[in-house]
Amino acid sequence: MGSPVAEVAVAAEVRTLPRITGLSSRLLTVPLLRSWGAEAPENHVIVTEIQTDDGGAGHGFSWTPTIGPQAVKALLDFDVAPFITGLEANPEGVWDELWKRLHEAGGGGLTTIAMAGADLALWDLQARRAGTSVTGLLGQRQDSVEVYGSGVNLHYSLGELVAQVERWVAAGHNAVKIKVGKPDLREDMERVAAVRKVLGPHRKLMIDANQRWDLPATFRALDVLGEFGLEWLEEPLRADDLWAYRRLRQHSPVPIALGENLHNIYRFRDFIEAGAVDIIQPNIIRVGGITPFRRIVELARTHSIRVMPHLLPELSGQLALTMAEPTLVEDIEDASFEQLGVLDAPSPVQVRDSLLTLTGRPGLGFAFSGSSADHQNRNAL
């Protein structure tokens, strides 16, 4: 048992946690510098701020590349904000209470994306109160983490794709990922072969089918593409098809990766325990923020499953530096927040020679543009 003095001190510390007095949100919509195709011409960032009764403020965001930014903002404004007002500013405690409140509206997707906006702001607040970065607060375990080049490039011509891969090689990347899923498998083979030629035999090559195939098509693709030394095949099947993924992994010569479209720890547990996946790729925003992401990472670690965070390198990189096991951070060409121009201050991370490091900013380190209207006006100039 602890001493009475220590117990009183702990109780006093708990009592001094500030309480949330409000949450505000605003929407930034920014055109992409490199098109992701006709279905995704822009990204949406829902910037959040939490205020506390001691005058503190925490800054976070939600994000979606295509669907539902207005719905996410409405959830934050009309459901999340009034519910968390008055709660202690404890990220994990707030997340669990908010999950109980919102999950009946959906076990993931818009609900968890909205929850991320509150969760990130609370972690930012807690780190700022401690005088450190979120990475420092959680415990930095790596000085740097490797970044891989990634692109939404299925609509690129073969020449455009090869030129993109050449840029990644010139930038020092030792791993790249490209999209596959052309109507004619022979075209996929031509593209993968051309990319492998640029990369040489020693750099890592990953392919992502974005749920375009069924099980027979995936096996046909593996027969043709498996010879190119693939590090993983990502999301070839509909993301919810656990039965098919279990069957696929039993026979695949290439490691299977998925997770960007799994939205809570229970779905990750289902896929892991079914033996349906080699590598999980949680998106920190889509799973609901830092709190659930850390729990998913620990779940994977106990099952010896690798974790490769999905997108958002300026956020994923900060969390990757706290992970015990090696990982890769995905960086889509010309799509970081800094490159898109939605930050009013330097990025919290920097990438040089394919290695990501911190820049030493407090909290999460994001200072987003002042308002969506101001940002859109600047883009129009």
What are the pLDDT digits (tens) for 246-303?
999 999 999 999 999 999 999 999 999 999 999 999 999 999 999 999 999 999 999 9
Average pLDDT over all residues of the chain: 93
The number of C-alpha atoms within 13 Å of 308 and in the hemisphere containing its C-beta is 24
Domains of the chain, CATH where assigned: 4-129 (3.30.390.10), 136-358 (3.20.20.120)
Asked which of 12-26, 95-109, 361-375 is least confident by mean pLDDT, the reply is 361-375
CA 12 to CA 23: how far, in whole Å? 26
pLDDT of amino acid 213: 98
What single letter denotes the amino acid at residue 24? S
Q: How confident is the model at residue 7 (pLDDT cuts 50, 70, 90)?
A: low
pLDDT-based confidence at 207, cuts 50/70/90?
Answer: very high
Task: Write out the DSSP string of 195-215.
Answer: HHHHHTTTSEEEEE-TT---H
Average pLDDT over residues 23-45: 94
pLDDT at 208: 98
Report, as an integer, the average pLDDT of 81-86.
98
Q: What is the pLDDT of residue 67?
A: 92
Dihedral angle at the C-alpha atoms of 45, 46, 47, 51, nearest 10 degrees? -160
Q: Does residue 9 have a pLDDT over 60?
A: no
Q: In terms of Cα–Cα distance, which of 289, 238, 363, 284 is closest to 102?
A: 289
- pLDDT (0 to 100) of residue 373: 39
- Average pLDDT on 352-368 reads 96
Beta-strand pair 145-150/355-358: antiparallel
Q: pLDDT tens across 161-203, in order?
A: 999 999 999 999 999 999 999 999 999 999 999 999 999 999 9
pLDDT at 4: 54
pLDDT band at 370 (very low <50, low <70, confident <90, very high): confident
Quote the pLDDT of residue 371.
47
For residues 337 and 40, the model is more confident at 337
- Segment 75-82 shows an average pLDDT of 98
d(CA 143, CA 129) in angstroms, rounded, equals 23
Under 8 Å between Cβ of 244 and 237 = yes
What pLDDT does residue 8 have? 46
CA–chain centroid gap for 209, Å, is: 18
> Which of 179, 197, 251, 303 does the annotation list as catalytic?
179
- In b/e form, how buried is each residue of 169-206, taking b as 16+ CB within 10 angstroms? beeebbbbbbbbbeeebeebbebbebbbebbeeebbbb
pLDDT tens, 226-251? 999 999 999 999 999 999 999 999 99
Asked if the model's pLDDT at residue 363 lies above 50, the reply is: yes
| Burial class of 12 by CB neighbour count within 10 A (0 to 12, 13 to 18, 19+) | exposed
Active site residue 59: no
Which residues is 349 bridged to in the sheet? 358
- Alpha helices, DSSP H, located in the chain: 4-15, 69-75, 81-84, 91-102, 110-129, 134-138, 158-170, 185-199, 215-225, 242-251, 265-273, 290-302, 313-320, 337-340, 372-380
Q: Point out the least confidently predicted range of 13-22, 97-106, 198-207.
A: 13-22
With 80 as the cut, is the pLDDT of residue 1 above it? no
Pairing relation of β-strands 42-52 and 20-31?
A: antiparallel
95 vs 4, residue with greater confidence:
95
| Backbone torsions φ then ψ of 67, nearest 5 degrees | -95, 130
Average pLDDT over residues 355-361: 96
- Give residue-wise pLDDT tens across range 122-160: 999 999 999 999 999 999 999 999 999 999 999 999 999
Residues 200 and 250: their CA atoms lie apart, in Å, by 29
Q: Is 155 a catalytic residue?
A: no
List Cβ neighbours of 311 (8 Å cut-off, separation of 6 or more): 260, 283, 330, 332
Predicted pLDDT of residue 2:
53
- In this prediction, residue 15 has a pLDDT band, given cuts at 50, 70 and 90, of low
